[in-house]
Amino acid sequence: MTAYILRRLLATIPVMGVVAVFVFFLLRFAPGDPAAIIAGEDATVQQIAAVRAKLGLDRPVLEQFAIWVWGMLQGDFGTSIFSNMPVTRLILQRLEPTLALTLSTLLVAILLAIPLGVLAAARSRRLSDRLVMLFAVMGFACPVFLVGYVLIYVFAMKLGWLPVQGYVPISQGIWAWAERLILPSLALGITYMALIARITRASMLEVLAQDYIRTANSKGLTTGRVLLLHALKNASVPIVTVIGIGIALLISGVVITETVFNIPGLGRLTVDAVLKRDYPIVQGLIIVFAGVKVLVNLLIDISYVFLDPRIRY
Amino acid sequence: MAVTLASDEVGAAPEPGALLRFARFARRNPTIVAGSLLLAILVVLAVAAPWITADPFRQTPANRLRPPSEKFWFGTDRYGRDVFARTLYGARVSLVVGLSVAAIASVIGLALGLMCGYFKRIDGIVMRVMDGVMAIPSILLAIALITLSRPGLGIVITAIVIPEVPRIVRVVRAVVLAIKAQPYIESAIAGGTRTARLLLRHILPNTMAPLIVQATYVCASAMLIEAGLSFLGAGVPPEIPSWGNIIAQSRDFFQIAPWAILIPGAFLALTVLAVNMLGDGLRDRLDPRLARRM
């Protein structure tokens, strides 16, 4: 098994390599003169030259690529064009809100979606199943920002139960921190929940049709015991897979959710960097986000070994 | 229920007319019909926008932030522009982006998928590149490209096509790999069929059903990404009334004028829903094996 984990670990290197090459050469092969575009409409020749030097566009391509990759391996993601701050520091400063938001979304989504999927499968083709499936179909169609604004409209503006926007660090009190995460987590999690609920239902339906479930039922086990111990455990591989695939939804959604709810995290950093065309920040964030995605997929692959003893590598 | 029963009875009549045949089709494929119908309505509204609405660009400061009324069905925005007019014009942007991305990504993805599935030598390299591209969250990849370019509809479409291509390649490649193992391909090769003909006449037709299904999902996803990009201020230029732009421009006024955000947002959700329904319906009809799995 150690060999399998090692092999999977090695397989992430080419993927991250492609990501790095892609992001790096995007800057080189972008249509027009990226330095001029980044410097802005009314930049002088000197300003454009300064941006070009900062981006390393005046150096030979391979040399610059080597410098950039070598720096990243040491945790140096370059320097912001506008603030002149190290990108690594900017990212670390904004890490906490994003981490809080994604982890709470992950928790909320899994805790709500899996029971919904199990319920739908257990009461297949009845009203509760139809409602869960309706939710799943709607969840795929609703953009994150629409869900966010509807939640704000209902729970913050009309009912006044929760704050409209903003973020408070956890150091300023657990409740103040948590109450500002509820609506963003639900907004960010809606598509994710739809995905997980749908797969849970499908996977459970497949397992519930098996002979051993009939055996378990006929020997008089309670429905809850059959569903959770016999069925859900055997249905877990596709569910875990989709939880991993869905991380991509969370990462893309974070950028939008943080804008809707005014949360000063990595998503806001991305948007601000895009509006200022601060490419080194964008570049660094893409590497970080892609790295997280690759890492999560790695963990999912490894988890199969524990979830399903039949899988042996 | 009564309606279903009625069409059931007439559907069984010896020689059903066109209308009855449609009723039978609709009963068997409710999602295809409902999705197409919704889409058709949206297309008509988008095309006919100049004849049914006011000027989406005209600013009337006296009518700023008006709630929906008889005169302004969907209210007005911060500049006193008619949200109904802007929403209908916004449908044009979404439909154009969705369809172009689906078409372009399908053509590129089909070509790459055919080659990857058939030629082992390029398969390894191309699929590694695809894995890399798929590792980058699509909205971020699009953002990176847009940061480096002058704003415009073309660059937005390009920026969405790139992350969507691998999704098509994977589907096409999987079909090609399965078909290649079939005896009839072997016999065609033995019979001296040229590779190009083999790919185009014997393999390509088999990829069409899954390709069309996947293309509808790409179309839906492209619409969502475009709206997201515009919402973040990184999409189509702000003077174009796309749904994302309308929402972005009303963001600071949400508490005073929620209609300017909720209504275009609902239109977007409805459009994506319609495309997804069409996709689900086509999937169930064209590929029953896949349908059972979902």
pLDDT at B181: 87
CA distance A95 to A103: 12
DSSP designation for A79: B
Structure tokens at A56: 């390393």
Is the pLDDT score of B1 beyond 60? Answer: no
pLDDT at A65 over 90: no
Q: Is some CB atom of chain A closer than 8 A to the CB atom of B237?
A: no
Strand partners, B82: B76
How close B228 gets to chain A, by Cα (Å)? 7
Report the first-to-last Cα separation within chain B, whole angstroms.
26
Give the whole-number percent of chain A exceeding pLDDT 70.
98
pTM of the model: 0.87
Using the structure block, give the residue that is written with the tokens 């591209």. Answer: B133
Using DSSP's 3-state secondary structure scheme, residue A16 falls into helix
A2-6, A13-17, A235-239, B200-204: least confident range: A2-6
The pLDDT value given to residue B292: 47
Neighbours of A219 (CB within 10 A): 8
- Choose the weakest-confidence range: A145-149, B2-6, B47-51: B2-6
Six-digit token pair at B35? 């999705």
- In the block, residue with structure tokens 């006296």: B62
pLDDT at B98 over 90: yes
Do residues B268 and B94 lie in contact, with contact meaning Cβ atoms separated by under 8 Å? yes
DSSP state of A182: H
- Sequence-separated contacts (24+) of A223-230 with Cβ below 8 Å: A223/A122, A227/A118, A227/A122, A228/A118
State the pLDDT at residue B14: 54
Residues B102, B104: Cα–Cα separation, whole Å: 6
- According to the model, what pLDDT value does residue B111 have? 95
- Tell which phi-psi region holds residue B66, choosing left (phi > 0), alpha (psi between -120 and 50) or beta: beta
Over residues B29-43, the pLDDT tens digits come to: 888 888 899 999 999
- The two tokens of residue A4 are 């399998």
Q: Count A/B contacts: CB-CB distance under 8 Å.
A: 157
Q: CA-CA distances (angstroms) from residue A270 to A96, A273, B141, B144?
A: 15, 5, 12, 10
B68: burial class by Cβ within 10 Å (0-12, 13-18, 19+)? Answer: middle
Sorted by where each starts, the structural domains of chain B and their CATH numbers stand as: 87-178+207-293 (1.10.3720.10)
**What pLDDT digit, counting tens, does each position of A228-286 carry?**
888 888 888 889 888 888 888 888 899 999 999 999 999 999 988 888 888 889 889 99
Give me A140's structure tokens. 């795929």
Q: What is the pLDDT of residues A74-89, one digit of tens each?
A: 888 888 888 888 999 9
Q: Confirm if B114 and B172 have CB atoms less than 8 A apart.
A: yes
pLDDT: which is higher, A229 or B180: B180
In sequence order, the 6+-apart residues with CB closer than 8 A to the CB of A174 are none
Helix axes B83-118, B259-286, angle to 10 degrees: 30
Binning pLDDT at 50, 70 and 90, where does residue A32 land? low
Q: Give buried/exposed letters for B228-253 (b at 16+ CB in 10 A, else e).
A: bbbbbbbbbeeebbbbbbbbbbbbee
Q: How far is residue A256's CA from residue A242's CA, in Å, rounded to a whole number?
A: 22
d(CA B159, CA B153): 10
How open is the CA angle B146-A279-B223, to the nearest 5 degrees? 25
Statement: residue B9 has pLDDT above 50: no
Query: What secondary structure does DSSP assign to A271-289, as a single string?
Result: HHHHHTT-HHHHHHHHHHH
pLDDT of residue B3: 41
**Helix residue spans in B53-137 (DSSP H):** 83-118, 120-135
Q: How far is B273 from chain A (nearest CA, A)?
A: 5
Give the number of other Cβ atoms within 10 Å of residue B71's Cβ.
12
Report in angstroms the alpha-carbon separations of B198 from A86, B194, B286: 55, 6, 23
For residue B188, give how far its alpha carbon lies from the nearest alpha carbon of chain A (Å): 37
Higher pLDDT, B167 or B56: B167
pLDDT at B16: 66
| Whole-angstrom distance, CA of residue B65 vs CA of residue B77 | 5
State whether B273 and A141 contact (CB < 8 Å): yes
Q: Cα–Cα distance between A243 and A239 in angstroms, integer?
A: 6
Q: How many CB atoms lie within 10 A of CB A144?
A: 28
Considering only CB atoms, A141 lies closest to which of B231, B251, B272, namely B272
- Name the residue facing A252 among B133, B138, B148 (closest C-beta): B138
**Which residue of B135, B137, B148 is in closest CB contact with A252?**
B137
Q: Give A138's contacts in chain B (Cβ within 8 Å).
A: 269, 273
Interface probe with A: pick from B126, B138, B147, most Cβ of A within 10 Å: B147
The one-character DSSP state at B82 is B
pLDDT band at B6 (very low <50, low <70, confident <90, very high): very low
Whether B8 shows a pLDDT value over 50: the answer reads no
Residue in chain B closest to A202 (alpha carbons) equals B294
Higher-pLDDT residue of B101, B1: B101
CA count, 13 A, side-chain hemisphere, B183: 0
Helix, strand or coil for residue B192?
Answer: coil
**For residue B76, what are the β-bridge partners?**
B82
Does B13 or A165 have the greater pLDDT score? A165
Tokens of B160: 């969405």
Q: How far apart are CA A227 and CA B120, in angstroms?
A: 44
Q: Predicted confidence band at B293 (pLDDT cuts at 50, 70, 90)? A: very low
Q: Which of A71, A124, A259, A143 is nearest to B252 (CA)?
A: A259
- ipTM computed for the complex: 0.86
Instruction: Say how many residues make up chain A.
Output: 313
CB pair distance less than 8 Å for A285 and B140:
yes
pLDDT digits (tens, 9 = 90+) for B248-267: 888 888 888 888 889 899 99
CB contact under 8 A, A18 and B261: no
Output the average pLDDT for chain B: 85
From B133, B262, B280, residue closest to A149, measured CB to CB: B262
- What's the whole-number mean pLDDT along residues A49-62? 80
- The pLDDT assigned to A313 comes to 53
Q: What is the pLDDT of residues B272-292, one digit of tens each?
A: 999 999 988 888 888 656 544
Q: What is the CA radius of gyration of chain B?
A: 23
Mutation target among A41, A55, A130, A142 for the B interface, most CBs of B within 10 A:
A142
Residue A31's pLDDT band (boundaries 50, 70, 90)? low
| Residue B139 at interface with chain A, using a CB cutoff of 8 Å | yes
Can you tell me which residue has the tokens 């055997």? A234
From B179's Cα to the closest Cα of chain A, the distance in A is 26
Asked if pLDDT for residue B220 goes beyond 70, the answer is: yes
Q: Token pair for residue B136?
A: 């980058």
Q: Which of these, B228, B52, B35, B236, lies nearest to A137 by C-alpha position?
A: B35
CA distance B270 to B277: 10
**What does the pLDDT read at residue B7?**
42
Beta bridge partners of A86: A79
A18: pLDDT strictly greater than 60: yes
| Distance between CA atoms of residues B220 and A139, nearest Å | 13
Task: Pick the closest to residue B35 from B287, B244, B284, B292 (CA basis).
Answer: B284
Residue A312 clears pLDDT 70, i.e. is over it:
no
CB of B94 closer than 8 Å to CB of B271 = yes
